[in-house]
Amino acid sequence: MKTPLSIAIYSSISELPSNWNDFAIDNIFLSKDYLEILQKSAPTNMICHFIGIYNEGELVGISLSQFLDLNKLESFGERDKCVKNAVRNSFLKNLCSHILIIGNNMLTGQNAYTFSNKIDEVQILLALKTAAQKLKIIFKNKGFKIHITTYKDFPEENLTPFYQAGFKEYFQFSAQPNMHFEIPNHWKSEQDYINALSKKYRDQYKRARKKAEGIEKKKMELADIIQHEESIYDLYYHVAKNAHFNTFFLTKNHFRTFKELLQDKFLFYGYFLDDKLIGFNTIIKNGAVMDTYFLGYDDSIQREKMLYLNMLYDMVAYSINQGFKEIIFARTALEIKSSIGAKPQEMYGFAQHNNPIIDPIFEKIYCYLEPKVEWKERNPFK
């Protein structure tokens, strides 16, 4: 029988072992630099911990946990103006407001943990279960009772170790899919992408580009981000507030902190009309993968200028030109992302409610509060 792994829970980057980054080579979102961004500019209702997993004193895996206090939110999202919205908000406040996440709620994809190939993944998952129990005690001592513990986001081909580690007793859920865009090896420029589009979607591309005439796109450095910080936050907050559902809102200093710590791996593009910032998008270089991040825009101009669609085209063009292999477009706006060539990948999570009475009906409650999104997948290529 294998000896159980031990864990250490850290609350500060300064506490992390010196070889932490050896495990984050293939995922920037578990690196010290990124975790320091969370430490300095996480949402105000979020507390992060960093988990070291050890085998006889040797670091063999690393992980991230996030605690969310939904009681600190003024709004969960204002798009659904209905009784359902009120019911959802009341339920979340009273029975689901304290959530412990093994993973990253600010991103889509498997950013929960990584580990040495000398260790079996089932052992890692059992260690993370132990970590979750210890974190519950930490938060209980601070006056917070954890309502829900959840592990996210994992593709279907990665689920077997979870079943072997006893996660069958958890509610397995799937939210909106992760939209990802694989870039063919023979594409070397944006023109290769345009040439691959069918006539209908090539016409859509031309129409969007024509609509955007007069808009100037600028790569913004740290000084520019700081200069426009108020406008940036207003544009971000407008989009976030009108989303279907939110569990956090970014802090105003989040983007400047990102730029300070990730530098050239974090790209910030502003869109200007008559010298006024009307929109922005952000992308993160993660090895051979380009991860799209948060964006914002003036909604009235966005519609007229097809700004969001143009941002998507710009992200595709940059990624092709720079030789990236894949773009992660994450969740939301599934159909429009599909129309530029992104494909859905189902992502799964595991959740358990702390209340043994509520836990058996948690699946029904979740499905009511977060019904499956109906959308039509597009194929823009010949």
Distance CA 336, CA 282 (A): 18
Architecture of domain 6-175+347-369: 3-Layer(aba) Sandwich (3.40)
Q: What is the predicted pLDDT for the residue at 320?
A: 98
Q: What is the predicted pLDDT for the residue at 212?
A: 97
208 phi and psi angles, rounded to 5 deg:
-65, -45
Give the CATH H-level superfamily of domain 178-345: Gcn5-related N-acetyltransferase (GNAT) (3.40.630.30)
Distance CA 49, CA 7 (A): 12
Q: Is 58 helix (H, G, I), strand (E, B) or coil?
A: strand
Distance CA 127, CA 134 (A): 11
Q: What is the predicted pLDDT for the residue at 356?
A: 82
Distance CA 25, CA 349 (A): 24
Task: Decide if 19 contacts 59 (C-beta within 8 A).
Answer: yes
Q: What is the predicted pLDDT for the residue at 298?
A: 95
CA-based nearest residue to 179, from 323, 292, 79, 287: 292
Tokens of 83: 């009784």
Q: Which segments in the chain show pLDDT lower than 50? A: 76-80, 83
Task: Decide if 319 contacts 281 (C-beta within 8 A).
Answer: no
Which part of the chain is CATH 3.40.630.30? 6-175+347-369, 178-345
Q: What is the predicted pLDDT for the residue at 365?
A: 67
Q: What is the predicted pLDDT for the residue at 83?
A: 45
Q: What is the predicted pLDDT for the residue at 247?
A: 86
